[in-house]
Amino acid sequence: MADLVDGVAESGAAVIGLALVLPEADISPDGIAGDKRLASALAKNRTALAVSLGNEATVSEAEPKAGWSIVGQVPETLPGFTGLTGSLADFSGAAAGLGAIRTLPDPDGVLRHVPLLWLRNTAQGVQLWPSFALELLRLYAGENGYVARMNGAGFDALRMAGSIVPLEPQGSIRLWETDTNTLRISASNILSGRGDPLLRNAIAIVDLSAVGLTQYLPTPTRPARPGVDIHADAIGQMLAARHLVEPAQARMLERLWFVLSGIVFIGLSGVLAQRVMLGALALALLAATPFAFGALEYSLQGALYDPLQPALATILVAGFEGYVLYRRSEQRRSTLARQFSQYLSPSVVQRLANSDTEAILSGEKREITILLSDIRGFTTMSERLDAQEIGKVVNQFLGLATDEILKRDGTIDKFMGDAVLAFWNAPLDQPDHRERALEAGLALIERVKRENAAFTARGHPPIEIGVAIETGVCSVGNFGSERRFDYTAIGSPVNRAARLESTTKKLRIPLVLGPGFAQGASMPVVQAGVFELQGFKGEVPVFTVPEIRPSSQPAEEVV
């Protein structure tokens, strides 16, 4: 070991550190002489030895080599050790410096902090011990001691060789790892007398590399690093004045990001609910931004920001907002299913639940096709039948009408005694709404004809119906009071359809079409007559389809 120390010194090393604790003497004849030679080599060169701090019994007592100037009061809350294991007194006395090699990994076992100062509680008082890396740097700078500044939480900063090293309260610095591996030189090269020019004016650390004797520590960037590399990185970052610090405003910025991300998600909740991909992209960008900002500040200024807290907060806010939107969506689906299940086919209800229905339910103007149908001669029929039979007749007809309307995805507005009112193109768009309504009307007429045989077989009189279909722009939405409202259509076309239905009796045909329907019809229609409708100015032409064109044209009359 003495030859190795002398060889490193002859290669021009400025400081030599032995990252070893040598507490026992070599009692062999050659060993005694070797210990003396090692002590001599330590004394004549600028060297430092390692000590180990702990709470075990002290072995080979030693005193710090460097003096300390403390600015402020050392808090009693700072933890300290009671025991020390040092090298033989001859070795410790010969070395120019002594430093602690103890490490302090985080609870997860990863080494992120390198302690530079240690406290040791002795019967004579508190001792301040420098770390092994700090002691090597002191010898390299030619300083006799350290100046440490304290604050209420603990250590604050360290001044040495004219530079300030910011400290964490426990007296540590955050490890700033380099991308390159620490340069290693084999001891055999030195002992063979070849030396190495890379050692000139360098800080050389002597350590063991044998399997089982080298301490490996996980760091943030590597799963296992030799302890000597940690010392080298700590020395390098202090020489380069590259200090990883957490800015005073870091916590404020992290919380501000949390608040801003929450405001963004809440403010855009309506848009993001309709555009899932946009919401996912916004979440990814907001969650990734703290990491990008932290990486940029780390690389440029060595500033440490915790990106995990704002990123997790962003995800939590997004998750909560997503849950709220989901609950609203489910509530809307339930409301729609409850409100429309009696008036729309299940497929339309499902499509409606998957669409944006806020404007639809609150009311909108749109072109719709209205169908109104009732039983002809119902007043006379009700005078001849009792209430129970009347109910059966009405239910039979309304059941048939409901089937044909829902088959064509119509919306049943309401039942009015023996009449049914339905419309198409609301709440969902149906470009072929005229065709659907006409098909439903014709199918209902044929269905009633087929069912009349079975109906009369049960003792009921045959029924005849009238169907009126009109198209126009109406207000469609939820209308009513706070206690009760219905999804319905309001407008002149609805009133005109009601007036037109009564013309079927005058025209002696089961189906009439209004002028609004005829104007945009894609199928052939023929004019069946002209009427003055109550509540409407002027004459209103009435149409039907060719297959049920009336045989004679009645005179004009007010309906």
379-428 tens-digit pLDDT: 888 888 888 888 888 999 999 999 999 999 999 999 999 999 999 998 88
Number of domains in the chain: 3
Q: Please state, in angstroms and rounded to a whole number, the distance separating the CA atoms of residues 413 and 488.
A: 6
- Using alpha carbons, list the distances in angstroms from residue 442 to 249, 295, 344: 76, 72, 19
Is 228 in the same domain as 323?
Answer: no
Report which of 537, 541, 543 is spatially closest to residue 556, judged by C-alpha positions.
541
Instruction: Reply yes or no on whether the pLDDT at 553 is more than 60.
Output: no
Does the structure show a pLDDT above 90 at 346? no
Under 8 Å between Cβ of 532 and 538: yes
Residues making up the chain, counted from first to last: 559
User: In 123-254, where do the E strands start and end?
Assistant: 125-130, 145-151, 154-160, 163-166, 172-174, 203-206, 216-217, 225-226
Rounded to the nearest 5 percent, the helix, strand and coil shares of the chain are 40, 25, 35
Judge if pTM exceeds 0.85.
Answer: no
Instruction: Kindly state whether residue 230 falls inside one of the protein's structural domains.
Output: yes
Query: 95 φ, ψ to 5°?
Result: -70, 150
- CA separation, residue 212 to residues 18, 23, 162, 181, 215 (Å): 18, 19, 40, 21, 8
Tokens of 165: 């090293």
d(CA 311, CA 304): 15
| pLDDT tens figures, 31-48 | 678 889 989 999 999 999
Encoded tokens for 244: 């990883």
Residues 174 and 215 grouped into a single domain: yes
Range of the domain at 315: 250-338
Single residue among 220, 239, 258 that ends a domain in this structure? 239
In 3D space, the residue among 369, 334, 363 whose CA is nearest the CA of residue 349 turns out to be 334
Domain presence at residue 350 = no
pLDDT at 356 over 60: no
Based on the fold, state whether residues 232 and 255 are members of the same structural domain: no
Residue reference for tokens 């009921």: 460
DSSP state, 252? H
- Whether 404 is in a domain gets the answer yes
Same domain, 228 and 275: no
What is the spatial distance between Cα 272 and Cα 256, in angstroms, rounded to a whole number? 22
Determine, yes or no, domain membership for 213. Answer: yes
- Token pair for residue 242? 């590259």
Distance CA(514)–CA(171), nearest Å, equals 91
Look at residue 236 and give its three-state secondary structure. Answer: helix
* Residue 460 to residue 442: CA distance in whole angstroms: 23
Residues 486 and 399 in one domain: yes
Structural domain includes residue 557: no
pLDDT given for residue 49 in this prediction? 94
- Say yes or no: 373 and 490 in one domain: yes
| Residue for token pair 């405003």 | 249
Whether residues 404 and 308 share a domain: the answer is no
Q: Are 480 and 410 contained in the same domain?
A: yes
Distance CA 505, CA 375 (A): 11
Q: Which region holds residue 454: left if phi is over 0, alpha if psi is between -120 and 50, else beta?
A: alpha
pLDDT the model gives residue 558: 35
Query: Would you say residue 497 lies in a domain?
Result: yes
Q: Residue with structure tokens 């406290």?
A: 119
Mapping DSSP to helix (H, G, I), strand (E, B) and coil, where does residue 157 land?
strand
Q: Which pLDDT tens digit goes with each residue over 183-234?
A: 888 888 888 887 788 889 999 999 887 666 677 888 888 888 888 888 988 8
CA 156, chain centre distance (Å) = 37
pLDDT in tens, 502-542: 999 999 999 999 999 999 999 999 999 999 999 899 999 99
Q: Are residues 487 and 371 in the same domain?
A: yes
Decide which of 271, 303, 338 is a domain's last residue.
338
Which amino acid would we find at residue 363?
G
Among 524, 426, 514, 422, which residue's Cα sits nearest to residue 470?
514
82 CB neighbour count, 10 Å cutoff: 14
Q: Is residue 232 located within the same domain as residue 257? A: no
**Does residue 470 lie within any of the structural domains?**
yes
Residue 12 lies in a domain: yes
> What confidence score (pLDDT) does residue 470 get?
98
Q: What is the pLDDT of residue 260?
A: 80
- If asked whether residues 274 and 234 sit together in one domain, one would say no
89 and 180 belong to one structural domain: yes
Distance separating alpha carbons of residues 284 and 311, to the nearest angstrom: 9
Query: In this structure, what CATH number is given to the domain that contains residue 518?
Result: 3.30.70.1230
Q: Output the CA torsion 391→397→403→404 (10° steps).
A: -160
Choose the final residue of a domain: 338, 356, 372: 338
Alpha-carbon distance of 348 to 427, in angstroms, equals: 9
Q: Pick from 487, 354, 477, 348: which is nearest to 405 by CA?
A: 348
